[in-house]
Amino acid sequence: GKYSTQVYLDFFKHTFSAYKEQKNLETKDFAAIVYHLPFTKMGLKTNRLAVEGTDEETNARLMDSFTAAKELNANVGNIYTGSLYLSLLSLLENGRLKAGDLVGLFSYGSGAMAEFYSANVVEGYEKQLDKVGDKALLDNRSKLSVAEYEEIFSAGLEDPENNVELISDEETGRYYFAGIRNDIRQYQVK
């Protein structure tokens, strides 16, 4: 718990500082920073480190963008590798960004490695978002018991037979894993 959190924070300080030095950037140059969020309070602690010693405008902007970026993670919980990208999606859907804005991304993995990189927001990104559809996906989740989860998890460890088509229980119009044909994974739209 506490040790893991401290490693995360130390990795952020090191990678963020090294990245800014390498790219000749300052914290104020970022419109937002998104984080791998095993839980949202860890991201809040990290964001506080990021804004330490900045002016009021930078502090407010990065705190506001963190609030926008954590919304989906707060709803979903820890999805491990995907949590950084869920933070990014949440920022894009809920934040106030414009074309050209610089977004920092802090990736972290199992206490063994971390990296910091950045991306620029492109013109028209809003047209690629589907906030209503994303909300519908989250609202369509089903609560499982531990036994039900373990059964699904264990079944997922077994490789499906080659050349046997799988049927989806997804809604029409959604992609799904349809099996393996000639040793190649197949995806279809229902």
| Contacts of 189 by beta carbon, 8 Å cutoff, 6+ apart | 173, 174, 175, 176
- Host domain of residue 53: 2-134
> Tens digit of pLDDT for each residue in 3-25?
888 999 999 999 999 999 999 99
| Contacts of 89 by beta carbon, 8 Å cutoff, 6+ apart | 72, 134
> Average of pLDDT values for 102-108?
96
> Tens digit of pLDDT for each residue in 114-145?
999 999 999 999 999 999 999 998 998 889 99
Q: What is the pLDDT of residue 66?
A: 98
Q: Are residues 130 and 149 in the same domain?
A: no
Q: Are residues 110 and 166 in the same domain?
A: no
Q: How far apart are CA 21 and CA 157, in angstroms?
A: 44
Q: Are residues 46 and 86 in the same domain?
A: yes
Q: Are residues 51 and 124 in the same domain?
A: yes
Q: Are residues 17 and 87 in the same domain?
A: yes
The tally of domains found in the chain comes to: 2
Q: Are residues 110 and 17 in the same domain?
A: yes
Choose among 138, 140, 144, 5: nearest CA to 71: 138
168 has a pLDDT exceeding 90: no
The pTM of the full predicted model, rounded to 2 decimals, is 0.84
Q: What is the pLDDT of residue 83?
A: 92
